[in-house]
Amino acid sequence: MSTVFALLLALQQTPGAVVWEAPPADVVEAVEVTEAPDLPAWALADPFGWERSQCSPLVRGDEPMDACQSRVRADLSLALGDRLPAGLRPADAPTPCQATPSADGSFPVECREPERRVASANTVQDQVCESRPRREGGAVAFVTECRPAGASSERQGLRFRLPIGD
């Protein structure tokens, strides 16, 4: 037992002998493409989905994520031009400029990020619907009446349902 302990002490390194290596810095090179790439129609319709599909670890392999995103975003920028969503715009892309009409009839050019508006949510109201028979002439027809949940009914008091027979 003492020989095993002595062997372990002999195998230990002296303090300060551990050398830490700095991880290699990932260098993302700017991708320069002059021709518009041939992208499928669905890539132009859903650019975010195209980026996710191309930069998936299963597709990109050993390529770093930053390099993949730079390459795909440059391709999308060339293919879509001004229609490229702001979230996919390359970092070095210029701010989009747009001529907007003013009250005096001129069209000043404004260069800024497009405004994002939150769509108004359609609130669904709970309803209470009741179907009941109604005699019209010699026939019986069913009528459905709906009202918002929580609203009081016009009818109040004691109600009885009577069977309607022929």
- Please state, rounded to an integer, the average pLDDT across all residues of the chain: 76
What band does 64 get if pLDDT is binned at 50, 70 and 90?
very high
Rounded to the nearest 10°, the torsion over CA 26, 31, 84, 101 is 110
What band does 133 get if pLDDT is binned at 50, 70 and 90?
confident
Q: Which amino acid is at 160?
A: F
Give the per-residue pLDDT at 83.
83
CA distance 65 to 55: 7
CA distance 87 to 126: 37
Report in angstroms the alpha-carbon separations of 92 from 31, 89, 109, 153.
Answer: 12, 8, 21, 63
What band does 132 get if pLDDT is binned at 50, 70 and 90?
confident
Backbone angles phi, psi at 55, to 5 degrees: -100, 15
pLDDT surpasses 80 at 80: yes
CA distance 33 to 75: 8
